[in-house]
Chain A
Amino acid sequence: MSEKVHIETNINGSQVEFLCEPRQSLLEVLRDVLDMTGTKEGCNDGNCGACTVIVDDRIIDSCLMLAVESQGKKITTIEGVAYTDRLHPLQQAFLENAALQCGICTPGFIVAAKSLLDREPDADEGRIRQWLAGNLCRCTGYDKIVRAVLAAKETMKNE
């Protein structure tokens, strides 16, 4: 077995230290080392988006990033999206618009959509569909997901 590496990073606003093997992906470390199972694995090869996290303001498929690369970075996962006293508007909009059926894709969609609306608060339907094209949902046909993101956009503008 290879030697473990000591990593310090910031996850959802907290300083986190962990030991990992150089070959371990960020997804593996989140789920298996840090017990943060909100980030999901659907393919482990960058094609489903279930493992989406934000690293220093970019969205990343965490299955494609080595955990050692997270040294000194700032990571947001689904566990860090809600405010302390209430849900994030996207989470609320997903509930109100029935934008999830089985819900396995939901953390990835919410994190990806947050990253879009944080940088482009006026994104329209076409832009939302384009941005979310890296996230697969097999249950909903995307209609209610896109509507939820559009609804959250309005709420966020008024906040």
Chain B
Amino acid sequence: MNNMEASKFEKLRFVGSRPIRHDGLEKVTGQARYGADISFPQMLYGKILRSPYAHARIKSIDFSRALALEGVQAVVTSSDFPKPWLTDETGIDSKLINIKFSSNNVLAGEKVLYKGHAVAGVAASNAYIAEKALDLIDVSYEILPPILDVMQAIKVNAGIIHEGMFPYPESGLIASEFNSSLISNSTLDMSNHHQGDDSKYSNIAGYYIQEIGDIDKGFMDADVVVEREYNTGSVHQGYIEPHSATAIWNRDGKVTIWCSSQGHFGMRDQTAEVVGIPASDIKVIPMEIGGGFGGKTTVYLEPVVAMLSKKTGRPVKITMTRQEVFEGTGPTLGSYMKVKIGATKDGMITAAQALLAYEAGAFPGSPVNMGAQCIFAPYDIPNGKVEGFDILVNKPKVAAYRAPGAPAAAFAGETVIDELSCKLNIDPLLFRLKNSAKEGTRRISGPVFPRIGFLETVEASRIHPHYLSDFGGPNRGRGVAAGFWFNGSGPSSVIVNANADGTVSLIEGSPDIGGTRVAVAMHVAEVLGIPIADVHPSIGDTDSIGFTSMTGGSSVAFKTGWAAYQAAQDLKAQMIERASDIWDVEAGEVNLKDGKFNHSTNQDLQMDFKELAGMLNATGGPIVGRAAINPGGAGAAISVHIVDVEVDPETGKLTILRYTVVQDVGKAIHPDYVEGQMQGGAVQGIGWALNEEYIFDKEGVIKNPTFLDYRMPTSLDLPMIDTHIVEVNNPGHPYGVRGVGEVPIVPPMAAIANAINSAVGIRMNTLPMSPPVLLEALWANNGAGKVYGD
């Protein structure tokens, strides 16, 4: 632990302890209710008809045969949703365009844009009938050639995914950027792009650039330069709970939706836009959520069940199958990247440059700008340039996935850093230490770092017993990598009610995906000095608590923890006021310490929290504390991962021998759940590194939409995951919290790639580094010629 700034928090009673979570009992006994665990009398079951093609124009949809099937109650298609964007003749109102994209992703408009794209929804008296009805919907398609990766998307005559939407950039900006010195030898050549049929439009939906210093001079000053090219495929968030939504559209026009999501206010607002009613007419009741990782932040089913309920007057529920989850939700991006870094002989980075081309999927909005901001963020880069391209392809629209954009970028950036330190014969952690960003460092993207803990995290890693241990043996190696994530914040509302029995009920708006109820409640217990078990947290629906932004961006312990702290302070101030009324003294003379109210001079005036709570109703009425805030200063997170591997040269199989996550968390409110985030993030990264990938055929059909063939890590694939918590308190939070959840997925792919190099001397530049890929690389390296895949 880092104690440099710990003094401020030494006296904390509850923060930093490991109580049992309040919602735990329901979850270990099967009582907790998740998205699919709800049902109503008269409820109908829905199913979604999905596109068999990755790219096709919808010529017509005829569902009369489906409607005629006994038990089928209603069918909806995109024509049931309003189309406000048609009122904008200029076609440039970005809000309306976004509604169009959102609506067309929920149910396809003129075209289907990926295999599995939803085309129609059916409600029937049971799921079997609904499924049978799907076969009776006649859709006539004009099949178009699918565009399946970045390279293809920017080719001449590739075809245009959104006709008339994304003008080819003026003055050849992008073409010239793609032809800059960095990528002159790369396979990504756009110079002829605009000579095709669709001459005015492109599949490039966005372009970002950040620069600092003089990049050319920086590379001239370098003694060693490493430049590498990378490709990564699509992977899925892989939450175990499939999406499920249930809705009742009442005759008064008010809609209630039950679903599990990372943010029920977001679900409400997005549904309102797609179905075209005011958000205030929709109430979303949050169910327990069985994992999200960014993938449960957008609507898929909610508008469909709402419309089906409107048509039938009955409750309608749809639960996705696992195949639908793979084909119709998530995933995260595939990418093409190129990275070049130069350094002096003594290991100081002089220049760093990157080009990131991220697949957005079928609609714009890959997190390439975030990847671009993260890739070199851990380092003090005097001369830097990062460009990002958001590129449309016929794959599901990418959704956020834990530190969106950063992991792929770090795979590229951190393996180049490793190669540089190898070339310079400098310990890779020492190399990072020399170039580490610190308070006051200006990032390439502009902002200057406040207090961050990169130095401390790298130092802690260098002296960690894992790093000091011997990993020797044939085909064994060790890798390290660092990761950066901004951490987020957002609006958050909390209410705390003092109950007559001395407990406090806490209502928050942040869905609890991994133990945040208890962490938020601990803020209240700390302020009031009452036992954590006496604070009863629950998640309010959209009509019961003020707006709260989604559980994402590693924001909940920060923003909602802070809101709870502030609501508890409000409650405390009002209770002090009440005590002073009862005692007939000045409020300024009353204190609350360790759960007891007392007078600053008169020792006879004492009351414990419970006693006063019991008197509230009779002495002026109940007391409610509240806070509604949007705090800044989330405080960036830094993580360093150390991994030992063994590569089997016969099979290409890699075994993780030992794994350690070192991370600056600011302050661990509940260390168990902080460690859990570090371990879970690392293991998702291990899966991404070694096994997970969408396998598309050339028609754009996903060949492995099951957990059998989309291979996520199991308990048997892993050792224990060691964690080391560093606490460089975030000055921007009452207890020093930084977000925790996302950054641990950033370093694993690079750390493992670096370990592979250490073990067998091969630099991997694609993901996943699965046995066949690794084996082929081994053979190529041994000059044995290519066998695999011939």
| Interface set of A (CB-CB < 8 Å, partner B) | 1, 23, 31-32, 35-45, 47-48, 50, 77-79, 81-82, 87, 91, 94-98, 100-107, 110, 128-130, 132-147
A43 touches B707 (CB 8 A): yes
Residues of B within 8 A of A38 (CB): 29-31
Residues of B within 8 A of A82 (CB): 29
Residues of B within 8 A of A133 (CB): 714-716
- 5 interchain residue pairs of minimum CB distance: A38-B30, A104-B290, A141-B683, A103-B27, A101-B514
A143 touches B721 (CB 8 A): yes
B28 touches A106 (CB 8 A): yes
Q: Which residue on A lies nearest to B291, using beta carbons?
A: A102
With contact pairs A48-B707, A104-B34, A130-B716 given, residues A42 and B672 touching in the complex (Cβ less than 8 Å): no
A129 touches B715 (CB 8 A): yes
The answer to whether the Cβ of B33 comes within 8 Å of any Cβ in the partner chain is yes
Judged by DSSP, the binding face of B is loop
Q: State in angstroms the CA–CA spacing of A130 and B717 once bound together.
A: 9
Residues of A within 8 A of B37 (CB): 31, 37
Residues of B within 8 A of A79 (CB): 29-30
Task: Given contact pairs A102-B291, A142-B713, enumerate 5 new A-B contacts (beta carbons under 8 Å).
Answer: A98-B18, A100-B24, A105-B240, A106-B27, A139-B680
B 97-119 contacts with A by CB, 8 A? none
B290 touches A102 (CB 8 A): yes
Residues of B within 8 A of A40 (CB): 34, 240-241, 290
What is the count of residue pairs linking A and B with beta-carbon distances less than 8 angstroms? 178
A157 to chain B, nearest CB (A): 20
B240 touches A42 (CB 8 A): yes
Among B39, B322, B680, point to the contact of A140 (Cβ < 8 A).
B680
B 692-742 contacts with A by CB, 8 A? 706-708, 712-716, 718, 720-721
B29 touches A146 (CB 8 A): no
Q: State in angstroms the CA–CA spacing of A1 and B714 once bound together.
A: 39
The answer to whether the Cβ of B21 comes within 8 Å of any Cβ in the partner chain is yes
The answer to whether the Cβ of B239 comes within 8 Å of any Cβ in the partner chain is yes
Among B25, B241, B683, B706, point to the contact of A102 (Cβ < 8 A).
B241
B28 touches A37 (CB 8 A): no
A26 to chain B, nearest CB (A): 15
The 0/1 profile, CB within 8 Å of A marked 1, for residues 186-209 of chain B is 000000000000000000000000
Residues of B within 8 A of A128 (CB): 715
The answer to whether the Cβ of B682 comes within 8 Å of any Cβ in the partner chain is yes
Cβ contacts A to B, 10 pairs, < 8 Å: A31-B37, A39-B30, A44-B321, A82-B29, A101-B676, A102-B288, A104-B291, A139-B680, A143-B679, A144-B672
Among B23, B684, B706, B718, point to the contact of A45 (Cβ < 8 A).
B706
Q: State in angstroms the CA–CA spacing of A144 and B304 once bound together.
A: 38
Q: Which residue on B lies nearest to A125, using beta carbons?
A: B720
The answer to whether the Cβ of B286 comes within 8 Å of any Cβ in the partner chain is no
The answer to whether the Cβ of B355 comes within 8 Å of any Cβ in the partner chain is no
A141 touches B707 (CB 8 A): no
A45 touches B322 (CB 8 A): yes
Q: Which residue on A lies nearest to B29, using beta carbons?
A: A82
B239 touches A138 (CB 8 A): yes
Residues of A within 8 A of B605 (CB): none
Chain B interface, number of residues (Cβ within 8 angstroms) = 58
B715 touches A142 (CB 8 A): yes
Among A50, A78, A139, point to the contact of B29 (Cβ < 8 A).
A78
Among A23, A102, A141, point to the contact of B721 (Cβ < 8 A).
A141
B322 touches A95 (CB 8 A): no
Q: State in angstroms the CA–CA spacing of A145 and B291 once bound together.
A: 16
A47 touches B707 (CB 8 A): yes
The answer to whether the Cβ of B293 comes within 8 Å of any Cβ in the partner chain is yes
Residues of A within 8 A of B237 (CB): 138
The answer to whether the Cβ of B371 comes within 8 Å of any Cβ in the partner chain is no
B28 touches A91 (CB 8 A): yes
Q: State in angstroms the CA–CA spacing of A109 and B158 once bound together.
A: 48
The answer to whether the Cβ of B68 comes within 8 Å of any Cβ in the partner chain is no
Q: Which residue on A lies nearest to B70, using beta carbons?
A: A1
A105 to chain B, nearest CB (A): 5
Among A42, A87, A146, point to the contact of B28 (Cβ < 8 A).
A87
The answer to whether the Cβ of B764 comes within 8 Å of any Cβ in the partner chain is no
The answer to whether the Cβ of B513 comes within 8 Å of any Cβ in the partner chain is yes
A103 touches B290 (CB 8 A): yes
The answer to whether the Cβ of B20 comes within 8 Å of any Cβ in the partner chain is yes
Residues of A within 8 A of B396 (CB): none
Q: Which residue on B lies nearest to A93, using beta carbons?
A: B28
With contact pairs A140-B679, A145-B715 given, residues A101 and B29 touching in the complex (Cβ less than 8 Å): no
B240 touches A141 (CB 8 A): no
B238 touches A138 (CB 8 A): yes
B28 touches A48 (CB 8 A): no
Q: State in angstroms the CA–CA spacing of A97 and B706 once bound together.
A: 30
B676 touches A98 (CB 8 A): yes
With contact pairs A40-B290, A50-B240 given, residues A107 and B676 touching in the complex (Cβ less than 8 Å): no
Q: State in angstroms the CA–CA spacing of A144 and B682 once bound together.
A: 14
A34 to chain B, nearest CB (A): 12
Residues of A within 8 A of B714 (CB): 132-136, 142
A100 touches B28 (CB 8 A): yes
A97 to chain B, nearest CB (A): 8
Q: State in angstroms the CA–CA spacing of A157 and B715 once bound together.
A: 24
A129 touches B716 (CB 8 A): yes
Residues of B within 8 A of A130 (CB): 716
B131 to chain A, nearest CB (A): 11
Q: State in angstroms the CA–CA spacing of A135 and B321 once bound together.
A: 18
B29 touches A41 (CB 8 A): no
The answer to whether the Cβ of B36 comes within 8 Å of any Cβ in the partner chain is yes
Residues of B within 8 A of A137 (CB): 240, 715
A138 touches B291 (CB 8 A): yes
B653 to chain A, nearest CB (A): 16
A146 to chain B, nearest CB (A): 6
B30 touches A142 (CB 8 A): no
The answer to whether the Cβ of B410 comes within 8 Å of any Cβ in the partner chain is no
Residues of B within 8 A of A78 (CB): 29-30
The 0/1 profile, CB within 8 Å of A marked 1, for residues 321-333 of chain B is 1100000000000
Among B33, B706, B718, point to the contact of A142 (Cβ < 8 A).
B718
Residues of B within 8 A of A101 (CB): 291, 513-515, 673, 676-677, 680
B683 touches A41 (CB 8 A): no
A102 touches B708 (CB 8 A): no
Q: State in angstroms the CA–CA spacing of A144 and B706 once bound together.
A: 26
Q: State in angstroms the CA–CA spacing of A106 and B28 once bound together.
A: 6
B241 touches A42 (CB 8 A): yes
Residues of B within 8 A of A138 (CB): 237-240, 291, 293, 680, 684, 712
Residues of A within 8 A of B684 (CB): 138
The answer to whether the Cβ of B361 comes within 8 Å of any Cβ in the partner chain is no
A98 touches B240 (CB 8 A): no
Q: Which residue on B lies nearest to A81, using beta carbons?
A: B29
Residues of B within 8 A of A50 (CB): 240
Q: State in angstroms the CA–CA spacing of A144 and B446 once bound together.
A: 40
Residues of A within 8 A of B28 (CB): 87, 91, 94-95, 100, 103, 106-107, 110
The answer to whether the Cβ of B242 comes within 8 Å of any Cβ in the partner chain is yes
B557 to chain A, nearest CB (A): 13
A113 to chain B, nearest CB (A): 11
B 451-472 contacts with A by CB, 8 A? none
A141 touches B706 (CB 8 A): no
B 270-294 contacts with A by CB, 8 A? 288-293
Q: State in angstroms the CA–CA spacing of A125 and B482 once bound together.
A: 30
A98 touches B242 (CB 8 A): no
Q: Which residue on B lies nearest to A110, using beta carbons?
A: B28
